[in-house]
Structure 1
Amino acid sequence: MSVAVCSLKWDEATAPTQKITYDADGYHLVRFPYTADCESYDPWGMHEPASGGTLASKYPDARSGLIWPSHAGWGVVSALVFWEADDDALEYRARFVRDPLRLTPDGYDSTATTDMAPTRGGQYRSYMWQMFVTPGVPIGFKVSARGAGDVKLATPITLAEFKLAIHTDVLTPV
């Protein structure tokens, strides 16, 4: 079975700190640089600055948070995020989203939303989900740190990874 892979990484040491800003859905779209300096792997060109617009995207604009599937198939998405310790945070959430910026007629489609209570110290979480993916419909990884009364906090993240593995030979019954 053939697999097309895109693996993105961001950390404080290799790219400027991400300012946590929340979209209308109450989540921050995690951004990734367009360089291989962060252990990124993208031989299929699924994280290209030209994708999704007339002008090239530049990290850390919102489009730098997108993976554009190169093939149709069964996608396995995974992500990792580290948050700094925040005594005000009562909940951490994450989700995978098809078309998080509403750039296609398909529109915003979130899936695999997860929420967790904090543990002591920093928060270190990994996530995985599987879904069909299609070229032309980007995928993003969104996070949120929330305090009392569902207040969205600007809790900094210190590391993030986002990966897509597309199984291109999905069988159908005959």
Structure 2
Amino acid sequence: MTVAVVSLKYESARTGRQTLVYDADGYHLVRFPYEADEESYDPWGMHDPAGGGGSSTYPDARSGLIWPSHDGWGTLSALVFWGPDDRATEYRARFVRDPLNVAGGYDSTATTDISPTGGGQYRSYTWQMFVHPGTPVGLKVSARSGGSLVKPPITLAEFKLAIQTDVITP
């Protein structure tokens, strides 16, 4: 099996606090630095500041995009650690094809909604779908309280895509 992989990491202790900017859909596109650390991995150039023919500088919105290098079956996975916020009554996440509408249209999938636990708010997410070069994917998150958006800090986020490039057809 041939697999192309990208693994991104944001850590507030290294790159500073990420200000949540909620888009019209009520979600924040999580941004990831372009400078690799020991846990980031991008040999296929799927998190390139010039991805999709654009131009980007972290922490602009385009720094939240992964541009798949191949057509194939993609396994998306993410990890989000939220900082404390006593107001938040739910945390949401979703994977989105074309979250900035630069390649034909926003298409969200795998929206997850969960109530806070008594301890820290640490969440992991996984979804599988077909991915294509030219159509970026992103991780969007939201925290809410009684319908209102709140902005607890994200202290750690990881976003990964593994593309199986040898999907067979019958």
TM-score normalised by L of structure 1: 0.95
- List per-residue Cα deviations over 1:70-124 (Å, max 9, x = no partner): 000000000000001211111000000000000012x000000000000123200
1:35-74 mapped onto 2 (5 Å cutoff): 35-37=35-37, 39-54=39-54, 56-74=55-73
How many residue pairs align between the two structures?
170
Partner residue, 1:126: 124
Select which of 133, 138, 155 maps to 1:158.
155
Runs (5+) with no aligned partner, structure 2: none
Cα separation, 2, equivalents of 1:31 and 1:44: 19
Indicate yes or no: 2:164 matched with 1:167.
yes
- List per-residue Cα deviations over 1:99-154 (Å, max 9, x = no partner): 0000012x000000000000123200000000000000000000000002x10101
Secondary structure in structure 2 of the residue aligned to 1:52: helix
Cα separation, 2, equivalents of 1:163 and 1:128: 9
What fraction of aligned residue pairs are identical, expressed as a percent? Answer: 72
Q: Which stretch has the larger CA shift, 113-122 or 70-79?
A: 113-122
TM-score normalised by L of structure 2: 0.97
Change (3 A) 1:53 1:24: farther
Cα separation, 2, equivalents of 1:120 and 1:78: 24
Partner residue, 2:139: 141
Segments ≥4 residues shifted beyond 6 Å: none
What's the RMSD between the two structures over aligned residues? Answer: 1.0
Runs (5+) with no aligned partner, structure 1: none
